[in-house]
Chain A
Amino acid sequence: MTRMSRWIAAGLTALSMAVAAPAHAETRSICVYDPAGKSGDYYGLMSKYATEASTWGVEVEIKAYTDEETAAKDYEAGQCDGVVATGVRLQRFNRFAATIEAIGGLQTYTQLKQMVTTLASSAGASAKLSQDGNTVVGFIPVGAVYLFVRDREVDTVPELAGKRIATMAYDKASVFMVDRVGAIMVPADLGSIGPKFNNGDVDACYVSAPAFRPFELHRGLEGGGGILKAPLAQATLQVMIRDSKFPEGFADKSRKDLNGRFGTALSIIEKAEADIPAKFWVDIPAATLADWDQMFQGVRISLRDEKKAYDGMMLGVMKTLRCTENGSRAECAENKE
């Protein structure tokens, strides 16, 4: 074959390949944090989401991250067009969305479901979920956060004074609350909470039920420890995207889709909570609960007014949901949130 004919043949081959190639939508990547990686429940849920999302104008692919910070950093560095991480981790991007995890803000899964459904349908919320080119396009519940204590007798606010609590240093709210109750903050992250609690390096830590088995927290609870049955907050995974990379209308479809997956995520949590041996749960008397509530309220207001960490409008709607469920709460007669 002459050089000329080889060039012609190569050109024709390239042309035929170009003609034969199907027209694909552009691909967008989402970095998904799941401590269990690709075998995790949340990665599995996002995998189904990605299949559905690929019918909304772009091809969505997901990448598993077992380290949350790396996932968030890769998103910031433009390695991914979207990220799935906890609200606490993403609070620097969107204070409004992160406030859904406010301390004592939502006390039941019914309230959380009502909030997530409202966020998926409210035009006002839609505007606030988008800030500086980043938009939160959905919430996935990962469970109520409970306080795990090595001594189950420590179940009141004053008793926490002087206790060492494993605290996520990047979580402004927790750092503030630990300080407010007079406890000692011991910096930790999701990878070190388990060892610190189980080895006795800290007196308490706070996580949701799905972390109980992977972190082997029963080892730290044996010998008189307990889990205080009063949710500190509702942890969520939030799906955030870079606006410029996704077509118009994507956010709305995404929020509605993920709202429809709330039940699937909730069943993971309920199973994990049911899996914790009954002997570890510590019921809190109503009077003590009221004290906790009062402390939570004070922390929320300070974080809103002084630290500017919480969004006032989100706190107001949370209060509405709490008072709708139980109108006899003391706060319902006040106008603080």
Chain B
Amino acid sequence: MPRSSATAVLRLLAPVTATAVTLAATTGCAAKIDRFTIDRVVAVGTDVPDTGKVCHLGAALAHPLASLSRKAPHKALVIAELVSALCDEGVANEAELDMDRAKANLSALGAERADEITDARIRSERAHAQAAARFERSWQHLVAAYGEIGGEECPRIKEKDEVAYLLGLIGGTLALIHDKRGGTTLDIPLDRLLVVARGTECLDDERWWHAPLALRAGAWATIPGSGPEGVDPWELLDEAAQKGEGSGVRVGRAMQALIAGNSGRGEIVQEAIRAHAASMEATPTDADWALLDRYAFEVSRHESDRIWVDAEGHRTETFGELPSDEKEAPVVPDLFSGADPFGAAPAAEPEASDEDEEPTDDDAEADEGEAPTPTIRKEAPEEETE
């Protein structure tokens, strides 16, 4: 960042930092900073469906927050590090689409195509690695705040702090996914997902839009055989996503699209995208958690963009529509029993007999007053869906 921009950012953040410094100076207590962050900053931030704004806020505040007291305000930092990772996630996603587009545009790019693909891949990996590092720091602060996650007993979690605990679990999951996509620079073990899955048992599913169940099912789906016997993790993931949709916070559905995309389950990704779009039509966003619903939408939309760029060379125009939809033949209403109402002979019967007179265009020109009387089908016409 240029020095002048950095100065401007610091100047803008001065009031926020000053508030936190004042808090720390007057209380000297990490717990107070946690409370201020969760009760005030998160409460306001989650009302606004703007991931760009919170990612910059998190990136700017992580260091000041960590420096304010001798003991780090871990719960505040779970959130600050997590949201700061969204900036890198956005960069990684864009680079991924560039890579997909270069792959799709063989004829346009010619011999330079391989360079374009390689460059986009490297950009994507760097950003994924950076996102993984930030998500991982969020997870580490969760561990620091609550001790071992996924142990025999649940840690004591205050009701007000459950949001930080849930976001930390999401951070732990996303750290692994981004680490894999970023070239395994952190080498996060795969069993992280199972640790997260056990950790979700400590949250009330209903209260948190069934996101804990979605995280659990997502872990079991990713690691075959890791879930309870007789449970189909993909079905369970879909069930969690469906249950969550009614709340207007579609984190579960986004999790389904992300995990299925990661596992190469294209059909499930497509179904998740369609269901996500349908849910947005049917159920308005929960205004108190608009930020999380927006993030969920962006996750699903990225999966949709990847499908579109791969198939058509451009990203999603209308969320919920997929390239495979276009391949379906348009439904032409057969209101005229296969005949051409505007005069041409039916294609199937080029040699129409005299008895089977179909009006021709010439007939029509000769006698404008007499329109053909096509056979009318009795059943109601089926309207084409757009």
A binds B: yes
Q: Which residues from chain A sit less than 8 Å from chain B, CB to CB? A: 48, 110, 113-114, 117-119, 121-125, 127-128, 256, 259-260, 262-264, 266, 304-305, 308, 311-317, 319-321, 323-325, 327, 335, 337
How far is the CB of A335 from the nearest CB of chain B, in Å?
Answer: 7
Interface check B364, CB cutoff 8 A: yes
Hey, what's the 0/1 contact readout for B338-353 against A, CB within 8 Å counting as 1?
0011111001000000
* Residue from A113, A262, A324 with most neighbouring chain B CB atoms (10 Å): A324
Q: Shortest distance in angstroms between B270's beta carbon and chain A's nearest beta carbon?
A: 20
- A324 to B340, Cβ gap below 8 A? no
The reply to whether A124 and B341 form a contact with Cβ atoms under 8 Å apart is yes
What chain B residues lie within 8 Å of A313 (beta carbons)? 342-343, 359, 364, 368, 371-372
Task: Specify which chain A residues have a CB less than 8 angstroms from the CB of B330 in the assembled complex.
Answer: 117, 256, 259-260
Q: List 10 A-B contacts (CB under 8 A).
A: A121-B332, A124-B340, A125-B342, A127-B343, A128-B343, A263-B386, A312-B368, A313-B343, A316-B372, A324-B377
Q: Tell me whether B333 is interfacial, beta carbon within 8 Å.
A: yes
Flag whether B383 is at the interface (Cβ < 8 A): yes
Contact of B344 among A110, A127, A315, A337 (CB under 8 A): A127
Dominant secondary structure at the A interface: helix
* Complex: A266 Cα to B383 Cα, angstroms: 13
Contact across chains for A335 and B373 when beta carbons are under 8 A apart = yes
Instruction: Give every chain A residue within 8 A of B371 (Cβ-Cβ).
Output: 312-317, 319, 337
Q: Which of A124, A264, A337 meets B343, CB within 8 Å?
A: A124
Encode contact with A along B370-386: 1 for CB under 8 Å, 0 otherwise: 11111011101101111
Tell me the smallest distance from the CB of A258 to a CB of chain B, in Å.
12
B369 CB within 8 Å of chain A: yes
Question: What's the least CB distance linking A271 to chain B, in Å?
Answer: 14
The interface residues of chain B, by DSSP majority, are classed as loop
* Contact of A321 with B335 at beta-carbon distance under 8 Å, contacts A122-B344, A123-B344, A124-B341 already known: yes
Residues of A within 8 A of B384 (CB): 113, 117
Report which of B344, B360, B369, B374 forms a contact with A317, defined as CB distance below 8 A. Answer: B374
In the bound complex, CA of A324 to CA of B359 (Å): 20
Please pick, from A114, A266, A314, A315, the residue contacting B335 in the complex, using a CB distance under 8 A: A114
A260→B332 CA distance, assembly (Å): 11
Are B383 and A122 in contact, CB atoms less than 8 angstroms apart? Answer: no
**Given A114-B381, A256-B330, also A316-B344 (CB < 8 A):** no
Contacts A113-B384, A123-B340; A312 near B376 (Cβ below 8 A): no
List B contacts of A314 (CB < 8 A). 371
Pick the contact of A113: B336, B360, B369, B383 (CB < 8 A). Answer: B383
Which single member of B332, B372, B381 contacts A110 (CB below 8 Å)?
Answer: B381
What's the count of A-B pairs with C-beta under 8 Å? 104
B153 within 8 A of A: no
Produce 1/0 per residue, B319-330, CB < 8 A to A. Answer: 000000000001
Provide the bound-state CA to CA distance between A317 and B374, in Å.
8
Are B343 and A118 touching (Cβ within 8 A)? no
A118-B332, A313-B364 given; A325·B341 CB < 8 A: no
When distances are taken between beta carbons in the complex, the residues of chain A under 8 Å from B340 are 122-125
**10 closest cross-chain pairs (CB), A and B:** A316-B371, A263-B386, A124-B342, A124-B343, A124-B344, A123-B344, A125-B342, A312-B368, A313-B364, A122-B342
**A187 vs chain B, min Cβ distance (A):** 29
CB pair A266–B336 under 8 Å, yes or no, is no
Q: Which A-chain residue is minimally distant from B347 (CB atoms)?
A: A123
Among B342, B343, B370, which residue has the most Cβ atoms of chain A within 10 A? B342
Bound CA span A337–B360, Å: 17
CB–CB B368/A317 < 8 A: no
> Cβ of B191 < 8 Å from any Cβ of A?
no
Identity of the chain A residue whose Cβ is nearest the Cβ of B341 in the assembled complex: A317
> A337–B370 Cα gap in the complex (Å)?
7
Give A325 to B381 CA distance when docked, in angstroms. Answer: 8
Which residues on A sit within 8 Å (CB–CB) of B341?
Answer: 118, 122, 124, 316-317, 320
Supplied contacts A266-B386, A312-B370, 16 more A-B pairs, CB within 8 Å: A110-B383, A113-B384, A118-B342, A122-B340, A123-B342, A123-B344, A124-B342, A127-B342, A127-B361, A128-B343, A305-B369, A308-B368, A312-B367, A317-B341, A317-B342, A320-B341
Residues of A within 8 A of B367 (CB): 312
B351 CB, min distance to chain A CBs, angstroms: 16
Q: Which of A118, A121, A263, A313 has the most CB of B within 10 A?
A: A313
Q: Which residues of A contact B370 (CB under 8 A)?
A: 312, 316
Distance A113 CA – B333 CA, assembled complex (angstroms): 9
Contact A117–B369 (Cβ < 8 Å): no
Given A124-B342, A311-B368, A316-B373, are A262 and B336 neighbors across the interface (CB < 8 Å)? Answer: no
Beta-carbon contact of B383 and A124 below 8 Å: no
**Nearest Cβ distance between residue B385 and chain A, in whole angstroms?**
8
Determine if A320 and B335 form an interchain contact, defined as CB atoms under 8 angstroms apart: yes
Nearest chain-A residue to B385 (Cβ)? A263
What residues of chain B lie closer than 8 Å to A263, measured between beta carbons? 385-386
